[in-house]
Amino acid sequence: MLFFLSFRCILIYIILVQSNIDNIVSIWPSSNSSDIHLLGLFYYTPNVSDNNHLSIHARAMFKSAVLLSNQYNITIDGKLIGWKDRLTNGDVIDVLSDTCLSVSQSNIVGIVGPTLSRETVLISSFGKKLGLPVISYAATDPDLSDVTIYPNLHRTVPSDNTAASVLLKLFNRFNWKSCLIIYQNDAFGSGAAKTINDVFNISGIRVAQMVIYDIATNSIRGDMRTYLVNSPSRIVILWAESIYTSLILKDALDSNLVGPFFTWIINSKISFNSFDKKYHQNLIGMLLIEPVIGSVVNAPYNIELLHAAYNIWQKYENETYPGSTNVDYYALFAFDATWALIKSLEKLCSSKINNSSSCLSFHSSSFCFDSRFNQYDSLLSILARTNFLGVSGSIEFSENVTDQISGSYYSLKNVQPSVDGLNFVSVLEYFDPGNWRVP
């Protein structure tokens, strides 16, 4: 009896968690009538607010892009484009399974996502096997820049290769000569930490210690207090997802390792609501470096397209629309990733307009690994020449690298007190390939 009660409680919990996000999308129009679909992959962690606004916003903008293409009457073989979407949980086998299922059930012509670098490493390789282009809006692992390994991958978010260069310019601006790096032990954290370490060493900046945060055990390998107190540097670079950044900072605060004796530079935005207010004074002065959209640094962006996308979002999912100034930047990267695929598909089929046969064809199989999108090479060639003004800024791809080659912007924010508590306040901005400047 106890077993069945426990099982029932677990089942109710799962249903409630799913309802939390599935109910949000229930008013979006169905795209089941479409013959071809884009697949969106979005990382979602139940009850973790630091992460979930990203997935909710990004998924809304993904769907808005597809519906906007319908409004603009962008058709493939006379038919509108549809979408399929899946929520991921960070487990690479689960995201592989979900992608496999989607490919088996629908004609997928491209993948938007995944969110996490460790997911993207696998899904890009899987996409290559299936003949599907993959455009990630959030995966920043520098190793993903290798076009020989990931020929079907592009990114609308700047790579951490760029982030390392941007960090170097920040250190040079303030004449900082050393640091300590804490990073999560997956493709995202390890790749960034290695690249930052390499760039700093070449430039004469000493990385005094590389500290691993184990995401399997949610703990630092070793003793963080010993690492920091014995380090010759008092500048700490923390490269981790928001959920892990908050956990690491809580441990550091408990050990009195955050302010005023240590300067922390984090790469993931966090919510201050999860911190005990007695620690707020210690958090003041902490720095956040993050990729941003063109409008933040007064760079050109497609305002007409952005307003049209926001109108669709408000029409179908108004309860999650936070206002134009509060939309997560990665949601705009997701829109541009989707729009790049849509425009490339349109160009692919317009070039075959005089051909009596269909411009798209598939080798379908109940075993997803045997499925294949036949126009893969042609679509990749068009994607590599893609160049448009997107909602996040200039979007331009290349055949030589998976990263976009223009439109990389960063913001440096400082934690400052306000009447509402603590806030991130912009103090410097970066417009690649320039230098840091005051906003």
- Amino acid letter, 298: N
State pLDDT tens for residues 124-169: 999 999 999 999 999 999 999 999 999 999 999 999 999 999 999 9
Q: Give the number of domains in the chain.
A: 2
Shared domain for 36 and 151, answered yes or no, is: yes
Q: Is residue 44 part of a domain?
A: yes
Shared domain for 217 and 250, answered yes or no, is: yes
Q: Is residue 316 part of a domain?
A: yes
Cα–Cα nearest to 183, from 135, 262, 230, 241: 241
Shared domain for 256 and 268, answered yes or no, is: yes
C-alpha span between 263 and 291 (Å, rounded): 20
- Amino acid letter, 214: D
> For residue 16, what pLDDT is reported?
38
Cα–Cα nearest to 291, from 136, 181, 134, 88: 136
Range of the domain at 274: 161-294+409-437
Q: Is residue 4 part of a domain?
A: no
> For residue 422, what pLDDT is reported?
94
Q: Is residue 5 part of a domain?
A: no
Shared domain for 155 and 166, answered yes or no, is: no
Shared domain for 329 and 389, answered yes or no, is: yes
Q: How many CB atoms lie within 10 A of CB 48?
A: 14
List, for the chain, all residue ranges whose pLDDT scores fall below the cut of 50.
1-19, 25
Shared domain for 246 and 328, answered yes or no, is: no
> For residue 371, what pLDDT is reported?
86
> For residue 129, what pLDDT is reported?
94
Shared domain for 92 and 236, answered yes or no, is: no
Q: Is residue 24 part of a domain?
A: no
| 88: CATH | 3.40.50.2300
> For residue 7, what pLDDT is reported?
37
* Burial bucket for residue 367 (CB in 10 Å: 0-12, 13-18, 19+): exposed
Shared domain for 290 and 418, answered yes or no, is: yes
Q: Is residue 277 part of a domain?
A: yes
C-alpha span between 245 and 99 (Å, rounded): 29
Shared domain for 304 and 287, answered yes or no, is: no
C-alpha span between 34 and 106 (Å, rounded): 10
Q: Is residue 142 part of a domain?
A: yes
Shared domain for 207 and 253, answered yes or no, is: yes
Shared domain for 344 and 253, answered yes or no, is: no
Lookup result for tokens 């003004």: 389
Q: In whole angstroms, how far apart are CA 188 and each of 195, 214, 227, 240, 261?
A: 11, 13, 22, 8, 28
Shared domain for 229 and 322, answered yes or no, is: no
Q: Is residue 355 part of a domain?
A: yes
